[in-house]
Amino acid sequence: MTKGSSAEIKLSPRAFLYFLGYFAWKVFAKFILWLFIGTAAAISISLIRSNKIYGMSDKELGLAFISPLPFVFGAFILVILIYAVGRSLIATYKTHYSLTPRGVMLESGWLTRTTTLITFEQIQKMTVISNPYDRIFKSAYIHLDLMGGGNGVDLEAVDHSVVADLRDILSQPDERPMLSGTKAMQDSHSSQKKSPAHNALADETSSVTSDENASKEKSKESLPMMKKRSKTKRKHKKKSKKK
């Protein structure tokens, strides 16, 4: 990441594995209740199909409870893997973070592409989260808090080698990249494009202020002379009174 041009914020080389674990855990935590519901429904169907609910031995009853579990858990794990692999591929190849002269740009999505630009002025705080899971895949999770209490922005699976540079750039405004569209260049262009009347008015005001400053300096310089004159007059008066 260099000053003066856009720079890409690299993802971790193991970003696919990072996203795979992330999405797998997300689906598992969301649908764990449905796993128990599906298990109970499969056991009930197995017992009903046996037609021996009241005349079954303990062994047959135990087998009736256990027999549907491999199918339920297998189907649940298969659904998680299919969803996690699909989302991980999309996230790995369609997620791009970049540092622009105005701020941080995020691009994500496959069918529906989403581009978000967060300006430097909007960023209030940067939080880097690196838990053991992140360190295994040599990545970092960065959360950017925005001004005004808005929803923050997350940068996931960022390469750990980029975190230090990104922290320095966001914490030091002088190190941020600048282009012709920034405020400093706009101010210079606006000063060059001022009308002749505006420039003449500015010259007049500057000349007036310079004259006022000169008169003030003259008045400051004349004060000691006036004091000396007043002292000499007082001395002459005293001498005349003595005579």
Sign of CA dihedral 152, 157, 160, 166: negative
- Judge whether 18 and 139 are in contact, CB under 8 Å: yes
pLDDT for residue 178: 42
Determine if the pTM surpasses 0.85: no
Which one, of 170, 171, 119, 172, lies nearest residue 146 by Cα? 119
d(CA 54, CA 51): 8
What are the 10-residue block averages of pLDDT along the chain, 243 residues in total? 68 91 90 83 73 64 73 88 94 91 90 90 88 87 85 88 83 52 39 48 52 54 56 63 55
- Judge whether 139 and 159 are in contact, CB under 8 Å: yes
Cα-based angle 98, 104, 105 (whole degrees, multiple of 5): 60
Q: Please, what CATH class does the domain formed by 7-175 belong to? A: mainly beta
- Judge whether 162 and 1 are in contact, CB under 8 Å: yes
